[in-house]
Amino acid sequence: MKTAVISGGAGGLGQALSAALQERGWRVVLLDLKVDGVQDTATQIAIACDLTDPEQLARAVNDTLAHCDSIDLVVYNAGITQICGFDQSDDTSHRKVFEINYFAAVSMARAFLPALRQSRGAHLAISSVAGFAPLYHRTAYAASKHALEGFFKSLRSEERPHGVRVHIAAPSFVATNPGRAEQQPDGTARPGSASDGMDEMTPEAAARVILQGLDRGRPVIPVGRVARLAWWLNRLVPRLYQRLMERNISGA
């Protein structure tokens, strides 16, 4: 039985990916800060873990390896966003976004690297349109996703000789946590709790597109109509893309 590890596993997209993989006969290990309401089953294990805490991450990795014969897919789905102008943010909140969106993924990748090499498995980074294009009032979030993409694109070249694949999924807006904004005092929140005018996909629809991209071996997987359009527009006419993005999101 193949095994996937999904960070941010208690959120909407993590749950949808878990369900879809289990339907394919996979075992899934879910990592999240809180796993209340996520039940362990014969094919699903939930582990509470602060991914930014090295000791907690090490315990979670050891528990995972103890329960599973192989690790075939690691999904880097954990993340937070911050919606505000740069002049309203501070360095502390900016670093918090990076710790969760970027550094936690790097630490996970390092921890599972030997297991993925052994299984000749795959890394799947859940990025965003903000990982390849600008996004209004998301300076910290966009920067963290650009860093995430840069890391995994570079890792792809290093891991190819080991037979390990690297995929990057780039959704626009996925309603992963509707009604669960839980915005912190510093303005950070889990993504997917409130739309900003982007087209909205259900987690289940996004999971289907992402897994289809994996099946087809696509290194980059735009998820949703806006994501596909944004990828091409930003690549071909970036100034036009920026104007359209600003008009759509800021109302300017």
User: DSSP secondary structure string, 185-232?
Assistant: TTSEE-TTSS--SS-EE-HHHHHHHHHHHHHTT-SEEEESHHHHHHHH
Q: Give the pLDDT of the chain (252 residues) as one tens digit per residue.
A: 999 999 999 999 999 999 999 999 999 999 999 999 899 999 999 999 999 999 999 999 999 999 999 999 999 999 999 899 999 999 999 999 999 999 999 999 999 999 999 999 999 999 999 999 888 899 999 999 999 999 999 999 999 999 999 999 999 877 655 444 555 666 666 665 445 545 578 999 999 999 999 999 999 999 988 898 888 988 899 898 888 888 887 654
Beta bridge partners of 45: 29
Tokens of 241: 């893309």
Q: In 3D, which of 209, 123, 7 has the Cα closest to residue 15?
A: 7
The owner of tokens 């937070």 is 80
Radius of gyration for the chain, computed over Cα atoms and rounded to the nearest angstrom: 17
Q: 142: Cβ–Cβ under 8 A, 6 or more apart, which residues?
A: 128, 130, 131, 133, 134, 135
Burial (CB < 10 A; 0-12, 13-18, 19+), residue 236, is exposed
pLDDT of residue 68: 94
pLDDT of residue 149: 98
pLDDT of residue 176: 55
Looking at residue 217, its amino acid is: G
Asked if residue 12 lies in contact with residue 174, where contact means CB atoms within 8 angstroms, the answer is yes
The owner of tokens 């690790």 is 71
**Dihedral, 81, 178, 208, 133 alpha carbons, nearest 10:** -30
User: Does CATH number 3.40.640.10 belong to domain 3-250?
Assistant: no
Interatomic CA distance for residues 113 and 62, integer angstroms:
13
Tokens of 144: 């963290």
Interatomic CA distance for residues 125 and 91, integer angstroms:
25
- 203-215 and 12-23 helices cross at what angle (nearest 10)? 50
Q: How much is the pTM?
A: 0.90
136 is a catalytic site residue: no
pLDDT of residue 199: 58
Interatomic CA distance for residues 208 and 224, integer angstroms:
11
Active-site residue (options: 76, 102, 141, 241) = 141
Looking at residue 59, its amino acid is: R
pLDDT of residue 184: 62
Tokens of 62: 């050891």
Q: 204: Cβ–Cβ under 8 A, 6 or more apart, which residues?
A: 16, 19, 20
Q: In 3D, which of 123, 104, 117 has the Cα closest to residue 5?
A: 123
